[in-house]
Every structure is written in structure tokens, then in C-alpha cells.
């Protein structure tokens, strides 16, 4: 199924006739000049994610969950590239058929969820560098593996890494000793022994 009301960036969906909301879940800014949200219903949308998504510089929410998108997450979603998604706050690509590795993420994210895909490889500490506002991380039910070294984000509240193949995870305390972290799920991995540094009573 394709998006009949949003066939691509070249057609400028916010242009005349001026509209700010579309049936398929695309929302535009009040002046109808920029796409600000894409929230698709779970009705079987499919295809690969286009690298041109990074041109939506005012996008705050991208929710394509519970559909049939496949292939890799475009590296252009990274906050390190020109015309990046610098305004993106919520990214939910859960329960699709995405493959490949986890790219560098936009620096202003509050929440990101990639549950129930076929993503693989290592999740390095550098993946989270610069994500100082991130509150929710949902990576369960993928094929991530290896060791996730010491990392901590002062704003982090929930972490779900269950149903992967991690062998070691270390979550360190912030320098001041205070944390908003309230929930961590590491079930159904290959972790042996204790999770270093994890203490929810900080």
C-alpha cells in the first residue's frame, strides 16, 4: 500500500491547496509550509525508507510502527549530516521488517523505539553520544549482540533491550549520582552474572 496523500517530497504535500492535516497521518506546520509529523496507521504500508526523509527538517514525530517497511534505516537520519532531522523528538519504527545496523541517531530525540524488527550488529556507546535529552530506549526483539559498554544518559527513564543476544551490558551512574531511571528490561539475552553498574535505587 502506498501513501495516496503523500507520494514523496517532490510534491510538497503542504503546498496549495493549503492543508495542515491529512488522512494518512501527515501533519504540517500552522502556516502549511513544512511537514511536522508523520504518524501512520497500522494498515500494511510497505517499502524501503527513503534517505530523503532527512530533508524534513521540521519533523518532530516519525511513527511508522506496525507496518511492513523493510531494508535498512537510512544513515541520513543521523544528526551529523547536513539537512538532518534536528527537530525530531519521537521516532517509532517498531514492528516492521527492518534489517541492518543501528545508525547514529538525531541528537534531540526524547524517545526512540525499534522493537520487533530484524536489526543486528553491535550497539556501541557512541550510538548514544550527544543524546542528552533521551528518556526512552526500546530495542527489544531484534538480533543485537555483543557487549554494550558503560553508558549513561542523565535524562534516561526506561530501557528495554530484551530478546536480543547481548552478552554484557553496563549502565553507569551519572557523575552527580542522581538518576531518573526507573525501568530496565534485559530479559532473554545471553548475559551471565551481574549487570555492571545497574542500580535502580540511585
Could you read off the pLDDT of 68-111 as tens digits, one per residue?
Answer: 999 999 887 764 444 456 788 999 999 999 999 998 888 889 99
- Residue 185: which of 173, 174, 200 has the closest Cα? 200
* Cis peptide, bond prior to residue 17, ω within 30 of zero: yes
Q: Who wins on pLDDT, 169 or 39?
A: 39
What cell does 148 get?
554494550
Give the domains, in start order, of the chain with CATH numbers. 33-185 (3.80.10.10)
Query: For residues 196 and 64, what is the distance between their CA atoms, to the nearest angstrom?
Result: 34
Amino acid at each position: 500500500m502506498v501513501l495516496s496523500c503523500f507520494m514523496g517530497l517532490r510534491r510538497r504535500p503542504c503546498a496549495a491547496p493549503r492543508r495542515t492535516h491529512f488522512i494518512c497521518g501527515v501533519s504540517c506546520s500552522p502556516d502549511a509550509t513544512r511537514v511536522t509529523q508523520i504518524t501512520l496507521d497500522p494498515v500494511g504500508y510497505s517499502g524501503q525508507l527513503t534517505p530523503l526523509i532527512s530533508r524534513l527538517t521540521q519533523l518532530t514525530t516519525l511513527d511508522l510502527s506496525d507496518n511492513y517497511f523493510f531494508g535498512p534505516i537510512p544513515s541520513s537520519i543521523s544528526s551529523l549530516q547536513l539537512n538532518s532531522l534536528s527537530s525530531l523528538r519521537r521516532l517509532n519504527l517498531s514492528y516492521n521488517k527492518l534489517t541492518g545496523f543501528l545508525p547514529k541517531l538525531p541528537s534531540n530525540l526524547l524517545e526512540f523505539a525499534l522493537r520487533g524488527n530484524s536489526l543486528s550488529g553491535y550497539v556501541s556507546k557512541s550510538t548514544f553520544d550527544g543524546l542528552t535529552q533521551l528518556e526512552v530506549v526500546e530495542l527489544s526483539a531484534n538480533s543485537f549482540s555483543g557487549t554494550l559498554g558503560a553508558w549513561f544518559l542523565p535524562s534516561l527513564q526506561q530501557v528495554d533491550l530484551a530478546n536480543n543476544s547481548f552478552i554484557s551490558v553496563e549502565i553507569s551512574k551519572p557523575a552527580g549520582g542522581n538518576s531518573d531511571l526507573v525501568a530496565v528490561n534485559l530479559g532473554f539475552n545471553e548475559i551471565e552474572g551481574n549487570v555492571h553498574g545497574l542500580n535502580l535505587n540511585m
